[in-house]
Structure 1
Amino acid sequence: MSEIRLDASAEAAIAGSHDGAAARITALAGSIPSVEGGYATPALVEILAAVLGTADDLALVNEVAAEQVRQVGEALGGTDEAVAGAFGSMRGGS
């Protein structure tokens, strides 16, 4: 029988990586330089706006992924405790 586990250090590392990615993506939004592209400036500004919108979505996906990893770790840990408790009560009743 295989066991599904997510130990606390792996959970923290994975969730932390997603948190860090979201923070780095969000920080980039404030560092976009102004663009002077002559006649192409309006098109370049439009492209940058699309990229920033996508980057914001990507940051949000990373934030949600970090929270989901934490919830999975919590649920797996809670399941282990519930199963152990059930077996413990069976052992005590026999």
Structure 2
Amino acid sequence: MKHSVEHDLDLATAKKATQKAFESYSERFEKYNPTANWSSETQCDVSFTVKGVKLDGALELKPKSIEMDLQVPLLFRPFKNKALDVVEREVRKWVEKARNGEL
């Protein structure tokens, strides 16, 4: 499942906004054990557990977008749009804060 959130930030600021979004998400949804491991300045592996099933994915920062790719088992596909909405709202909120110098 691929999804993209557009931004107009430089990559360093986009990374900070993405990190803040993930921190906020992690606090709100702690029961899903979210993890994020940055393998480079633009690549991040993410995972969380839902109903005992571990979901893995990746984030990639690009000059004009934050690309998300999450491996979603068939069983969870009916919920993917809700999950994407939550993630996108969080990322957009922090991108806006970054634009306003609030990081």
TM-score using structure 1 length: 0.36
TM-score using structure 2 length: 0.34
| Larger-gyration structure (1/2) | 1
Q: Which has the higher helix share?
A: 1
Q: Which has the higher strand share?
A: 2
